[in-house]
Structure 1
């Protein structure tokens, strides 16, 4: 049992709800659930939000009473979509700080582990709690457990706008993640919407109205299941899964500590599978060039093939990996840019369904487009002094913004030279 699963804010808990539905409904041997549960049968999960409704709904919908009551941590009021308010916390009397409660719950979960290897955090980049509190938690976890790894599952807001403060919140959160996290699985709401619409055969005009957040979250969690659900290749001789998938993922796709933004996509089919076609389907919507016209490339990628016909993947893995390396434009100077895992069971399909999934996670330079857009829009607002008083009143001064601009800008610059 090596990971603690931490979900923060409304978005983080909604994704967590879909994630735990996959895990708790899986018709697998009990031993396969070892990485997710403590010895007392409770999930190694901590759910925190500044408002109670999403956490309470999650508790009701995930049955079997698998959540530890003390790990359901809620406040009485939101954080105003303000990173500074989420980071520094409420200053009301007689209200125990959400941060302190969460760190205490994390400490107890770590002590329940046979071996603690790290924390997986679900959160958004735009909300006050999801961006601000998760930043502070990420910083504190790194300081208190320096040998443990941190994998962030981050959801970026729609470009059209979800909040007037989203660019500030995203900038500051991305800066903190760059400093303290080991890897960031970055999901863009706009890209997920397009992907789900394409899978459902809808045009974007109708998709924006008909594709729900629940459907989008289901796609995100199916990608996570493709990457992080236990694989037989990582089990011991006695058949126990140690839950090393998140950390082996980071080892495969983050060979350079400064470049840690990961693009994930998935495609699936039923019946007879042609893995090279699934590879083409996964790579088809991938951004090919930056807004400036420079071709994107990948530092490294991992392909995870799941399904009863895994042998057919193993027989054709060289062809599939070659196609993926070409589509993702893996850098020529990395001698081993592509890795693959296989498993005979699809992570989220009933055992009697012959479903096959191909999930690809790549350290892809298109992440720099998003980072640069956030940096530019936040900087334009900052130069005009827009909304800064909302951050200053909660203790966020110009120095924090200056460091955030510098940190994010340096990542953009490093990705721009990835293919050199």
Structure 2
């Protein structure tokens, strides 16, 4: 039941590298045991991050070699499979169309075809293919365009497998003049072909890191506390580990994980297939901080109202508690769940909107005194972000700004019209979800 992890573009590979640092840490209690099972019984039913030969179930693809180059030492150490690293020699110019359609002179040896060939071989190495986790961004040409094309191609070739996208949205200003078009097109493709999208917005990640770290937020940008891009990537990887590292709830009696976490996550927090964009928060503490206080820290950073004053709601919420005090989470489960239900504004029509997992190992921080709480919610605040993308992209489109760069690389007017229509329907679905 193991997943295949597909890292796409600069952002996807940077987050992916931080992710692998966390989940393959030899100090994690079950890491050595589970990898041993994977190799010993020649089955991917052992450790969900390894293939039966002990190699990581990861594919890394980028149109430029600079970011992935650091993985070469991992190839030499035997962790990564050399054939699972696909590189191009020219970037995609922060252009969705160039990333999706590729260079005009490319043939069957294109980056897309080479990646899909490696993906098929990785699928063939396991007893049963269950799904893929994509790591990519919305703004870069490779992450948005090639990521969208890979998502579409994998869905068509493996229609029964799950697709979970881990997507990083750009800052509202300052990254690329094409970012609103790229976000519009990529989000529409994810809505069509993915089963769920863990959406991390750079501005929101930065704000939450500042609040949760206890640093004072200043209005003057020059006075903001320094949080680096690497810190943000580490935070995103930490949230992923909090959600998707094996938990005791989903382990077999033999204590071997069968890698259900990504797919149980989707079944838990995506009760309606048309609303699939997920909001994730996390807090980690050392010492004796209570679960109630940790939940309060998370709820404090949660968006509560839209710009028009409407109250945000959640169709489903999952909480994952980790650490040697995780058993105490179950002891205080009822009041914590009630507080979470109120804080996240769970809809009334879902009779079972809440779920929780626990595990005695805090993979987020392996210090013996640490414990973490990670919450993933299908929260309607995403409609505000999507609406903003729609408005920005529509304004640019009406002014015919930069469109020639998209026509030049194979994009058509129908692609934009369909993307506007799909994302507009997503906003309406989230509004309707709270009205049922």
- Shorter-chain TM-score: what band? over 0.9
Partner of residue 34, structure 2: 32
Provide the rounded CA distance (Å) in 1 between the counterparts of 2:365 and 2:80.
23
SS at match of 1:86: helix
The more displaced of 263-272 and 360-369 is 263-272
Q: Which runs of 4+ in 1 moved over 6 A?
A: none
Kept in 2: contact 1:123–1:155 (CA 8 A): yes
Please tell me whether residue 387 in structure 1 is matched to residue 402 in structure 2.
Answer: yes
SS at match of 2:374: strand
Please tell me whether residue 362 in structure 1 is matched to residue 377 in structure 2.
Answer: yes
Partner of residue 39, structure 2: none
Partner of residue 264, structure 1: 280
Counterpart mapping for 1:308-347 below 5 A: 308-347=324-363
CA 1:270–1:343 in 2, change beyond 3 Å: closer, same or farther?
same
Kept in 2: contact 1:155–1:187 (CA 8 A): yes
- Once the two structures are TM-superposed, the CA of residue 95 in structure 1 deviates from its matched residue by 8.4
Kept in 1: contact 2:75–2:81 (CA 8 A): no
Q: What are the ranges of 5 or more consecutive residues in structure 2 without an aligned counterpart?
A: 36-46
SS at match of 2:332: helix
Kept in 1: contact 2:211–2:301 (CA 8 A): no
**TM-score, reference length from structure 2:** 0.93
Kept in 2: contact 1:20–1:62 (CA 8 A): no
Partner of residue 269, structure 2: 253
Please tell me whether residue 294 in structure 1 is matched to residue 294 in structure 2.
Answer: no
Q: 1:215 aligned to 228, 231, 236, which one?
A: 231
Partner of residue 79, structure 2: 66
SS at match of 1:39: coil
Partner of residue 111, structure 1: 124
Q: What are the ranges of 5 or more consecutive residues in structure 1 without an aligned counterpart?
A: none
Provide the rounded CA distance (Å) in 1 between the counterparts of 2:112 and 2:224.
35
Kept in 2: contact 1:21–1:62 (CA 8 A): no
Please tell me whether residue 404 in structure 1 is matched to residue 414 in structure 2.
Answer: no
Partner of residue 168, structure 2: 155
Partner of residue 281, structure 1: 297
Partner of residue 2, structure 2: 2
Provide the rounded CA distance (Å) in 2 between the counterparts of 1:137 and 1:103.
8
Q: 2:368 aligned to 353, 370, 378, which one?
A: 353
**TM-score, reference length from structure 1:** 0.97
Partner of residue 43, structure 2: none
Provide the rounded CA distance (Å) in 1 between the counterparts of 2:369 and 2:34.
20
CA 1:140–1:310 in 2, change beyond 3 Å: closer, same or farther?
same
Kept in 2: contact 1:193–1:207 (CA 8 A): no
Provide the rounded CA distance (Å) in 1 between the counterparts of 2:76 and 2:293.
38
Provide the rounded CA distance (Å) in 1 between the counterparts of 2:73 and 2:335.
46
Provide the rounded CA distance (Å) in 1 between the counterparts of 2:289 and 2:323.
9
CA displacement 1:91-122 (0-9 Å, x = unmatched): 23578201001101110111111221100000
